[in-house]
């Protein structure tokens, strides 16, 4: 197989793979800045500077035939894909296909100029064909079966062929036509099923088609504010960089400029990059807020907003930042921008929160919400804490014996704490298993170095916390080991989703013990849903009388089943009078879904009483207590007492406590508010 630049770099610079991974890796001067943080391509995350040309011995196949480069790839709007240097000389746009090792990851060894005719070796496209798809919403555009059947701009089509994407994955088949039709979308599809392209293609196409004569940056000498047309938000720096890399490939020679902004690195480089203009900005929320506050970026020209890992972006950690960016800066409101939310998991309460950002949206599920793909063979073993290291070494040893412990098959080991990650990495390295680690206490360069080393195969084992659980696409991960299980089943789904991607199979092993008792039931369900064999001893754990119920986060019912929360919760078009209490849901935009079923509301099954996270009006429940969506999904709050005591139809005055209770501001001052004390005090 041809050697890519990253392969070569790794082999050149890490002669002793068994050496402790903590040692700083030497990179020759001529290669520095020549590949991105993750060893993918020349297009650096930090700079958009032209790369040094790699020596020919480092260049990988496949190559694009020279007669196919250049002018024929230019987009119809006449923008050439060349940058001009200060001296006015045309600089060729770095070709992300020539030297990237994605092709190797996809099992492709040569460039096929005919396009679309690739064998797709290593990709089992059929694996996706019988996945159930559910779409809800009004007037949903029909899916496409081929890329040719989708109305994308030609330059993008050419890049799709270069990527050797032979046919769209199910989420792409449905999502791309929906987005091209201008609709808002909430999409839930399994890990590794191609969601990135599903939102990138319509964005790039839309940006190209709707180019107006607006500056994407202020004229020189001005305030140097950049006005991107599209914003893609993601929760981690690594994922933002990965999205940047992907979108640069898709936007190659289209003239669309993509820029990234993320924390942990000096802002100055990103500012320099932004000053050149950015039509698509990929960012993490914290760094974006910084740029907005410095007025280096304005969101007033945003036409496309994408939230990758949307449920994570709207959970407690990120939600305030996201609300600030989306609702309190200068971004156009829903309806004037197109909003797309993607994830593999979408708890109902997060769906509810997310609907604030959307207008007349389509809800799409590919597979079941939160389910794992059955391309991943899952097993769970009972391993007491003190035996975990020994068992891990057994597994790694077996892999090595089977000859599958190499760049072609790496192992990702998840632990719960940063300290545990450092300690396990050190121990593995000492014991002859070259390992690296990644977690939030490492500096950004350390994180990048770790990921690069793992991707290159120099360290075929990476120990990680959840910082690496979402979105990362490392082609050779063959085995994910949950050394420590996460607390939340959704995190488990994302973690194991680092393998079994793009139609390939993978393996996941979980170490379970008494400390994971609460995960027993959701884990069992998750495995059953993916047609995996569940050991009897795990069922015994579920059946234990002491078992706390194993309720999935934020959901009283089993969440698997691909449900649009609007259906379960009465999202539809009730009128103000459909509730005794008045205009309960008449004022929210989900109410206009024709498929609305009044039954559940009248029968007391309003999702707001189930989940405590509604957006009813003041009149519906006696005041602002549960009308404020902001607090309603806060895990700290126990919603039971709300639904039991105040959910429904009381008016403000029906509370003895008057405004103390009904005024949300008062009631939710501080974290410690407890409804039980309201009840105890006889206020209700
Ligand atoms: N149509 C396609 N044909 C072949 N490969 C594809 C296609 N679309 C995407 N891929 C490849 O599939 C892999 C997974 O895609 P991607 O990272 O977008 O998955 P995802 O659904 O976002 O996963 P996650 O939920 O983990 O974020 C990538 O390597 C991507 O290049």
SS3 118: coil
SS3 620: helix
232 lines ligand 1 (CB under 6 A): no
CA gap 670, 617 in Å, rounded: 23
With pLDDT > 70 as the criterion, what percentage of the chain qualifies? 59
192 lines ligand 1 (CB under 6 A): yes
116, 169, 471, 502, best to mutate for ligand 1 pocket (most atoms within 8 Å of CB): 502
Q: The tokens 């309806």 sit on which residue?
A: 335
What's the confidence (pLDDT) of residue 450? 96
Q: The tokens 């379970």 sit on which residue?
A: 512
CA gap 353, 350 in Å, rounded: 5
Contacts of 260 (CB under 8 A, 6+ apart): 45, 240, 241, 243, 244, 270, 273, 281, 282, 283
What's the confidence (pLDDT) of residue 130? 74
Task: Tokens for 558, please give them.
Answer: 């089993």
Task: Tokens for 121, please give them.
Answer: 């070796």
Measured CA angle at 400 (ends 394, 405), to 5 deg: 120
193 lines ligand 1 (CB under 6 A): yes
DSSP, residue by residue, 325-337: IIIISSPPPBTTB
Tell which residue, 248, 152, 273, has the closest CA to residue 208: 152
Mean pLDDT of 597-606: 24
Least confident of 132-146, 176-190, 218-232, 384-398: 218-232
* Check: complex ipTM more than 0.85: yes
CA dist list (Å): 221 to 15, 224, 489, 498: 49, 7, 52, 46
473 lines ligand 1 (CB under 6 A): yes
Residue 251 DSSP one-character state: T
Tell which residue, 331, 305, 338, has the closest CA to residue 184: 338
Are the CB atoms for 583 and 617 separated by under 8 Å?
A: yes
- The 3-class SS string of 415-449 reads CCCHHHHHHHHHHHHHCCCCEEEECCCCCHHHHHH
Instruction: Kindly tell me if the per-residue pLDDT of 103 is higher than 70.
Output: no
What's the confidence (pLDDT) of residue 125? 62
Compute φ and ψ for 340, nearest 5 degrees. Answer: -135, 125
Atom nearest to 472 CA in ligand 1: 26
- The 3-class SS string of 252-300 reads CCCCCCEEEECCCCCHHHHHHHHHCCCCEEEECHHHHHHHHHCCCECCC
> Cβ-count burial of 90 within 10 angstroms (0-12 exposed, 13-18 middle, 19+ buried)?
exposed
Tell which residue, 180, 332, 305, 330, has the closest CA to residue 234: 305
Atom nearest to 193 CA in ligand 1: 21
Q: What is the mean pLDDT of the chain?
A: 70
Contacts of 198 (CB under 8 A, 6+ apart): 169, 171, 172, 175, 176, 179, 187, 189, 342
CA gap 459, 25 in Å, rounded: 12
Tell which residue, 238, 325, 232, 329, has the closest CA to residue 281: 232
What's the confidence (pLDDT) of residue 257? 96
- What's the CA-to-centroid distance between 609 and ligand 1, angstroms? 37
The reply to whether omega before 62 is within 30° of 0 (cis) is yes
What's the confidence (pLDDT) of residue 6? 31
Tell which residue, 299, 521, 500, has the closest CA to residue 412: 500
**What pLDDT, in 10s, does the model give residues 625-666?**
232 332 222 222 222 233 222 333 222 222 223 222 322 222
Residue 579 DSSP one-character state: B
H or E stretch at 511: strand 506-512
pLDDT band at 591 (very low <50, low <70, confident <90, very high): very low
169 lines ligand 1 (CB under 6 A): yes
608 lines ligand 1 (CB under 6 A): no
Atom nearest to 168 CA in ligand 1: 1
Atom nearest to 494 CA in ligand 1: 26
Are the CB atoms for 313 and 285 separated by under 8 Å?
A: yes
CA gap 427, 418 in Å, rounded: 14
Instruction: Kindly tell me if the per-residue pLDDT of 177 is higher than 70.
Output: yes
165 lines ligand 1 (CB under 6 A): yes
pLDDT band at 214 (very low <50, low <70, confident <90, very high): low
**What pLDDT, in 10s, does the model give residues 281-318?**
999 999 999 999 999 999 999 999 999 999 999 998 89
The more confident residue out of 158 and 399 is: 158
pLDDT band at 90 (very low <50, low <70, confident <90, very high): low
Least confident of 249-258, 389-398, 505-514, 566-575: 566-575
247, 473, 490, best to mutate for ligand 1 pocket (most atoms within 8 Å of CB): 473
Contacts of 107 (CB under 8 A, 6+ apart): 120, 121, 122, 123
Evaluate if pTM is beyond 0.90.
Answer: no
What's the confidence (pLDDT) of residue 4? 32
Q: The tokens 């039931």 sit on which residue?
A: 521
- What's the CA-to-centroid distance between 350 and ligand 1, angstroms? 23
Look at ligand 1, atom 30, and give the residue with the nearest C-alpha.
194
Task: Tokens for 473, please give them.
Answer: 């696409």
Residue 142 DSSP one-character state: P
pLDDT band at 569 (very low <50, low <70, confident <90, very high): low
The alpha carbon of residue 600 and the mean position of all alpha carbons in its chain are separated, in whole angstroms, by 32
> Across 123-127, 369-373, 609-613, which has the greatest mean pLDDT?
369-373
Query: Could you tell me where the DSSP H helices lie in 497-597?
Result: 520-529, 536-543, 565-568
Counting Cα atoms < 13 Å in the Cβ hemisphere of 639 gives 23
**What pLDDT, in 10s, does the model give residues 36-77?**
333 343 333 532 333 333 333 223 333 333 333 333 333 333
The more confident residue out of 18 and 444 is: 444
Sort strands 185-189 and 362-366 into parallel, antiparallel or unpaired: parallel
195 lines ligand 1 (CB under 6 A): yes
DSSP, residue by residue, 101-151: SHHHHTT--S--TT-S----TT--GGGGTT--EEEESSSPPPP-SSSTTS-
Q: The tokens 């059946």 sit on which residue?
A: 543
What's the confidence (pLDDT) of residue 580? 25
Does residue 369 come out as left (phi exceeding 0), alpha (psi in the -120 to 50 range) or beta? beta
pLDDT band at 526 (very low <50, low <70, confident <90, very high): very high
191 lines ligand 1 (CB under 6 A): yes
């Amino acid at each position: 197989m041809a050697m890519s630049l990253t392969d070569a770099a790794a082999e050149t610079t890490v002669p002793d793979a068994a050496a402790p991974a903590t040692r700083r890796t030497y990179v020759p001067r001529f290669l520095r800045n020549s590949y991105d943080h993750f060893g993918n391509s020349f297009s650096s995350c930090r700079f958009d500077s032209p790369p040094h040309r790699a020596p020919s011995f480092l260049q990988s196949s496949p190559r694009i035939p020279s007669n196919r480069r250049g002018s024929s790839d230019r987009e119809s709007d006449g923008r050439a894909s060349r940058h001009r240097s200060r001296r006015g000389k045309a600089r060729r746009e770095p070709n992300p296909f020539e030297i990237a090792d994605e092709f190797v990851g996809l099992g492709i060894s040569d460039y096929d100029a005919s396009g679309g005719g690739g064998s797709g070796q290593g990709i089992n496209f059929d694996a996706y064909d019988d996945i159930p798809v559910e779409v809800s919403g009004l007037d949903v555009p029909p899916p496409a079966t081929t890329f040719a059947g989708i109305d994308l701009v030609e330059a993008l089509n050419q890049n799709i062929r270069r990527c050797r994407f032979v046919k769209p994955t199910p989420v792409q088949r449905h999502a791309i036509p929906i987005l091209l039709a201008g609709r808002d979308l909430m999409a839930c599809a399994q890990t590794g099923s191609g969601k990135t392209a599903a939102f990138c293609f319509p964005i790039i196409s839309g940006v190209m088609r709707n180019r107006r004569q607006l500056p994407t940056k202020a004229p020189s000498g001005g305030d140097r504010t950049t006005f991107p047309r599209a914003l893609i938000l993601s929760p981690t720096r690594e994922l933002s960089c990965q999205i940047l890399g992907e979108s640069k490939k898709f936007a190659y020679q289209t003239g669309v400029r993509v820029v990234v902004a993320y924390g942990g690195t000096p802002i100055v480089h990103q500012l320099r990059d932004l000053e050149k203009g950015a039509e698509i900005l990929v960012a993490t929320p914290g760094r974006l807020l910084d740029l907005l506050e410095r007025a280096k970026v304005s969101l007033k020209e945003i036409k496309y907003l994408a939230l990758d890992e949307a449920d994570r972006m709207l959970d407690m950690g990120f939600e305030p930042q996201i609300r600030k960016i989306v609702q309190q800066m200068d971004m156009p409101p829903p309806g004037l921008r197109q909003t797309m939310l993607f994830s593999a998991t979408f708890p109902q309460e997060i769906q509810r929160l997310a609907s604030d950002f959307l207008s007349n949206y389509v809800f799409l599920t590919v597979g079941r919400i939160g389910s794992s793909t059955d391309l991943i063979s899952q097993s769970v073993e009972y391993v007491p804490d003190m035996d975990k290291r020994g068992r891990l070494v057994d597994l790694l040893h077996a892999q090595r014996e089977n000859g599958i412990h190499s760049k072609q098959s790496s192992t990702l080991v998840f632990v719960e704490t940063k300290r545990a990650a450092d300690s396990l990495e050190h121990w593995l390295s000492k014991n002859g298993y070259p390992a690296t680690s990644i977690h939030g206490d490492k500096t950004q360069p350390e994180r990048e170095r770790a990921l690069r080393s793992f991707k290159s195969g120099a360290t075929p084992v990476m120990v990680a916390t959840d910082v690496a659980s979402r979105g990362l696409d490392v082609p050779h991960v063959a085995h994910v080991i949950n050394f420590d299980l996460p607390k939340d089943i959704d995190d488990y789904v994302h973690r194991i989703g680092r393998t079994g991607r793009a139609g390939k199979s993978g393996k996941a092993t979980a170490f379970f013990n008494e400390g994971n008792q609460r995960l027993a039931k959701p884990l069992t369900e998750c495995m059953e849903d993916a047609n995996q064999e569940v050991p009897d001893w795990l069922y015994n754990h579920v059946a234990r009388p002491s078992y706390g119920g194993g309720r999935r986060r934020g959901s009283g019912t089993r969440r698997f089943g691909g449900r649009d929360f609007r259906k379960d919760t009465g999202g539809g078009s009730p009128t103000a009078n459909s509730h005794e209490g008045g205009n309960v849901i008449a004022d929210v935009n989900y109410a206009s879904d024709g498929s609305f079923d009044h039954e559940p509301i009248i029968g007391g099954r309003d999702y707001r009483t189930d989940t405590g996270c509604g957006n009813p009006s003041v009149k519906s429940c006696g005041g602002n207590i549960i009308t404020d969506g902001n607090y309603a999904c806060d895990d700290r709050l126990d919603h039971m007492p709300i639904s039991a005591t105040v959910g429904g139809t009381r008016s403000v005055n029906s509370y003895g406590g008057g405004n103390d209770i009904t005024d949300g501001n008062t009631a939710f001052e501080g974290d410690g508010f407890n409804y039980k004390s309201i009840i105890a005090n006889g206020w209700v």
